[in-house]
Amino acid sequence: MKIRKMREDIYWLGAVDWDRRLFDSLIPLPDGTSYNAYLIQGSEKTALLDTVDPPMADVLMFQLESVPRIDYIIAHHAEQDHSGTIPQVLGKYRNARVVTTPKGKGMLMDLLHIPEGKFITVEDGETLSLGNKTLEFIHTPWVHWPETMVTYLPEERILFSCDFFGSHLATSDLSVTDEARVYEAAKRYYAEIMMPFRKVIRKNLEKIGDRAIDLIAPSHGPIYDRPAFIVDAYRDWTSEEPKNVVVLPYISMHGSTAKMVEYLVSALAESGVTVHQFNLAVTDIGKLAITLVDAATIVIGTPTVHVGPHPNVVYAAYLANALRPKLKFASIIGSYGWSSKAIEQIAGLIPNLQVEILDPVLCQGYPREADFKALDNLAATIADKHRQHNLLTP
Ligand code: FEO
């Protein structure tokens, strides 16, 4: 992709990574991603905002062949998908300085071995003049590392937000053209890396809330020319109010747990509760994370393997615990052949979840009438709990 003009003297640079399918060796990327950098040419100074992931450094360095001078490299975030090409950019522009938060400086020195003399650190609210354009730096910690900041360009009312508001989405469109598609990609990104920090992110939303913003330019995915779309979505996702949703990750080996899941999902649906069921043998774990953003209740379904839960269930429970969603209730259903400690072991995996545990249902062998009755009771209890929290109308 060539350099693209956004406004007079403001350009998009960067790389679209259509083929990437995994981030951090952990996060599925079904739609690829992009590493957006931006160039702002003031009447006196020029700034490059962020760089690209090192495997795509050549793309950025080719784009920069037509840029004779860079005075400042703004590093919003030390993670290498944005910072990793800074050393190469510094090699080309010998007098450039890296502008970042005090925490960002230490992390960039550790991660990329950038010499200390190359840095300018900026405090929250500090500004840097490019002549006829001003960069205002707003510290926005924990989106999703402790050092993160964003840049506001008041003359053009543009917020450069790096990971904040970003979406893992490869597209040839500079700006959002399909809000529904971007909504899911941005929610996936929020769920996977920012959800645990939603309390701080709410404060960050307040911090940027009093600025007039015409464009939000993130460092992943397309630019928002209707900022209210993504800001409102973040307000919803970061609230502590869940929705009338049960998330049900499960796995089954010989059909007993699957039968229980099928029965429970049907009973919940009849009670007016929305259920998202995920068979962990085949699911995209990112879809599970997306559903955890809104869910009020998690029900984990597992067979028994060597007396404990199935390893895939252990992974899902560990992930849910790490993401700290706004869940209010949890339960476990499943089966065993001769002995099981699956319930105790799963309960031990989710200490971060501030949930009320609802009576689990564990059956020996294939479920019988009494087991189905217990599942009916569990469904009724979940619906009642959702009603008590005004998530489900009576
Ligand atoms: Fe896109 Fe946290 O890096």
Q: How far is CA 77 from the centre of its chain?
A: 15
**257 and 158 inside one domain:** no
* Distance (Å) from CA 191 to ligand 1 centroid: 13
* Distance (Å) from CA 81 to ligand 1 centroid: 6
Beta bridge partners of 160: 151, 217
Q: How far is CA 48 from the centre of its chain?
A: 25
* Beta-carbon contacts of residue 318 (< 8 Å; ≥ 6 apart): 349
**80 and 217 inside one domain:** yes
Question: Is 62 inside a domain boundary?
Answer: yes
Is ligand 1 within 6 A of the CB of residue 76?
no
Radius of gyration of the chain (CA): 24
The per-residue pLDDT for range 78-124, each reduced to its tens digit, is 999 999 999 999 999 999 999 999 999 999 999 999 999 999 999 99
Question: Is 325 inside a domain boundary?
Answer: yes
**The pLDDT of residue 393:** 85
**287 and 379 inside one domain:** yes
* Distance (Å) from CA 76 to ligand 1 centroid: 10
Domain termination site, one of 222, 238, 254? 238
**72 and 146 inside one domain:** yes
**The pLDDT of residue 172:** 96
CATH number of the domain where residue 72 is located? 3.60.15.10
**The pLDDT of residue 22:** 87
Domain termination site, one of 238, 267, 282? 238
**162 and 273 inside one domain:** no
Is ligand 1 within 6 A of the CB of residue 17?
no
Question: Is 27 inside a domain boundary?
Answer: yes
Percentage of the chain surpassing pLDDT 90?
A: 97
Number of domains observed in the structure of the chain: 2
**Band (24; pLDDT cuts 50, 70, 90):** confident
DSSP assignment, residue 114?
A: -
Mean pLDDT within 150-163: 98
**The pLDDT of residue 150:** 98
Question: Is 394 inside a domain boundary?
Answer: no
**139 and 71 inside one domain:** yes
* Distance (Å) from CA 178 to ligand 1 centroid: 23
**162 and 259 inside one domain:** no
| Cα 184 to Cα 29: distance, rounded to the nearest angstrom | 12
Percentage of the chain surpassing pLDDT 70?
A: 100
Tell me the two tokens of residue 344. Answer: 């105790």
Q: Which residue's C-alpha comes closest to atom 1 of ligand 1?
A: 163
Q: How far is CA 310 from the centre of its chain?
A: 26
Q: Which atom of ligand 1 is nearest to the CA of 80?
A: 3
Question: Is 110 inside a domain boundary?
Answer: yes
Amino acid in the structure at residue 120: I
The per-residue pLDDT for range 348-387, each reduced to its tens digit, is 999 999 999 999 999 999 999 999 999 999 999 999 999 9
**The pLDDT of residue 104:** 98
**Band (63; pLDDT cuts 50, 70, 90):** very high
Domain termination site, one of 238, 267, 298? 238
**113 and 212 inside one domain:** yes
Is ligand 1 within 6 A of the CB of residue 147?
no
**Residue 394 pLDDT greater than 80, yes or no:** no
Mean pLDDT within 65-69: 96
**365 and 305 inside one domain:** yes
**The pLDDT of residue 198:** 97
What average pLDDT is seen over the chain? 97
* Distance (Å) from CA 195 to ligand 1 centroid: 14
Is ligand 1 within 6 A of the CB of residue 168?
no
* Beta-carbon contacts of residue 290 (< 8 Å; ≥ 6 apart): 184, 187, 188, 191
**97 and 205 inside one domain:** yes
**Residue 58 pLDDT greater than 80, yes or no:** yes
DSSP assignment, residue 366?
A: S
**The pLDDT of residue 23:** 85
**225 and 295 inside one domain:** no
Residue entry with tokens 């300085």: 97
Question: Is 312 inside a domain boundary?
Answer: yes
294 three-state secondary structure: coil
Amino acid in the structure at residue 96: A
Q: Reply yes or no: is the peptide bond before residue 144 cis, omega within 30 of 0.
A: yes
The per-residue pLDDT for range 223-261, each reduced to its tens digit, is 999 999 999 999 999 999 999 999 999 999 999 999 999
**259 and 211 inside one domain:** no
Is ligand 1 within 6 A of the CB of residue 53?
no
Q: Which atom of ligand 1 is nearest to the CA of 166?
A: 1
248 three-state secondary structure: strand
Question: Is 59 inside a domain boundary?
Answer: yes
Tell me which residue range forms the domain holding 299.
246-388
Q: Which residue's C-alpha comes closest to atom 3 of ligand 1?
A: 79
Question: Is 393 inside a domain boundary?
Answer: no
CATH number of the domain where residue 283 is located? 3.40.50.360
* Distance (Å) from CA 44 to ligand 1 centroid: 30
